[in-house]
Structure 1
Amino acid sequence: MTKEFWNESFSKDTYVYGKQANKFVVERTEQLKEAKHIGCFAEGEGRNAVHLAKHGHQVTVFDQSEEGLAKAEQLAEEEGVHIETVQADLTKKEMDAGQFDAAVMVFGHVPKENQSFLIEQMIQSVKLRGYVLFEVYSEDQLTYGTGGPKDKHMLYSPEDVLYWIRDYKCLHFYYGEADRTEGERHTGVGHVIQALIRV
């Protein structure tokens, strides 16, 4: 999905995915309490970043959409917190090593050929003993029709995810159904992959 696609999506007055943080991020926030500085990847309109900032974390947001980042900053201002925003194509941007205590991503829709790079860069961005947390739609989501890309090429397989995280301490892994009501794009039971690892 191109920057133009996301800029058009996020140019609406409403928040496409809502203003409330993803349920998995909320459930795991306590486990990230030691992480002073968190990088939020493919963060869109900022709902997860603002949630984490409200819990006292320093947050840096990465997304390719200027429209999304502007709305993330607006949401942060509404909620009385500060976030740093960085416009970047995460299928190409190499991250500085060890700059964060944790990295978070929710539904980063990128093509198959770019998925391993994105996860590797998230892992590289965190310090030793830092955390990486993400939730993505699995390929099985196509049969649910409750959100996400309509193209299997843009969805994730559990085998790939397990391979990418094989060298790290896995604190949580889940492959199955999850009920997500997030704005107009994610509504109802879907099929996800969740991971929380310690580097």
Structure 2
Amino acid sequence: MSDAAAWDTRYAGGGFAFGEAPNRHLAAQDWRLRPGMRALALGDGEGRNGAWLAGRGLEVTSVDWSAAGLAKAAALAEAREVALRTVVADLVAWDWPVDAFDLVAWIFVHLPPRDRAVVAAGAAAALAPGGLLVLEGFTPAQEGRRSGGPRDPLLLWSAALVREHFAELEVLECLEGTVVLDEGPKHQGPAEVVRAVLRK
């Protein structure tokens, strides 16, 4: 089974694996958002972040390799009466637009090192000048916790990796530590994360 097929299976149920509410770190950036901003939600799955951004008046593109997830994202947006463009694609192979977005939301997207570097370069290029990258990911300290995240340590983030992959961006915030997740059945309880906001 391919990874995309595995996520299709995960998203095939009736509920929302990570809930319908936006990621708290992303929602905390509400004060930085303006209607009409162009936003890209990476690995947006069932659309909780993309639909929320669309509800704030942003023009949102949600990209994920799970067609099942994005079908639910489209339904969520329709139920909220907001516009959401969905694109089924592998971020590693995607034809990234350049200078096209005012915001890129990278929320719990965990990739092998080589793929992560490719996608990070694409995301940075996709930001328009002055655009913001909002990122949250699990760190190696998450090992042993049951609140989510990949088991392979090579897929995990750190503040150092954020600074390395996005060296050309200005760091506005970049913190590692413990948070309490309440994001659907798959993200529950204390978790070790890095949260960052960067600007092109």
| Residues 77-97 of structure 1, C-alpha deviations (whole Å, 9 max, x = no match) | 111111000011012224110
Q: Where does residue 150 of structure 1 map in the other structure? A: 151
**1-structure distance, mates of 2:102, 2:169:** 15
**2-structure distance, mates of 1:25, 1:80:** 21
Q: Structure 1 stretches (4+) deviating beyond 6 angstroms?
A: none
What is the DSSP-based 3-state SS (H/G/I as helix, E as strand, rest coil) of the residue aligned with 1:145? coil
Q: Where does residue 160 of structure 2 map in the other structure? A: 159
**2-structure distance, mates of 1:183, 1:165:** 29
* Deviation for aligned residue 1:34: 6.5
2:117 matches 1:116: yes
Contact 2:92 2:119 in 1 (8 A): yes
2:29 matches 1:39: no
| Stretches of structure 1 lacking an aligned partner (at least 5 in a row) | none
Structure 1 segment 6-155 matched on structure 2, within 5 A: 6-33=7-34, 36-155=37-156
Figure out how many residues of one structure are paired with residues of the other and give that number: 199
Contact 2:98 2:128 in 1 (8 A): yes
**2-structure distance, mates of 1:121, 1:140:** 27
Q: Provide TM-score, normalisation by structure 1.
A: 0.95
What is the DSSP-based 3-state SS (H/G/I as helix, E as strand, rest coil) of the residue aligned with 1:143? coil
**2-structure distance, mates of 1:180, 1:107:** 12
Q: Provide TM-score, normalisation by structure 2.
A: 0.95
The CA RMSD measured in Å over matched residues stands at: 1.4
| Stretches of structure 2 lacking an aligned partner (at least 5 in a row) | none
Contact 2:35 2:57 in 1 (8 A): no
Sequence identity, in percent? 27
Q: Which moved more, 1:85-94 or 1:66-75?
A: 85-94
**2-structure distance, mates of 1:167, 1:105:** 17
| Residues 55-97 of structure 1, C-alpha deviations (whole Å, 9 max, x = no match) | 1101000000000100000100111111000011012224110
Q: Where does residue 190 of structure 1 map in the other structure? A: 191
What is the DSSP-based 3-state SS (H/G/I as helix, E as strand, rest coil) of the residue aligned with 1:82? coil
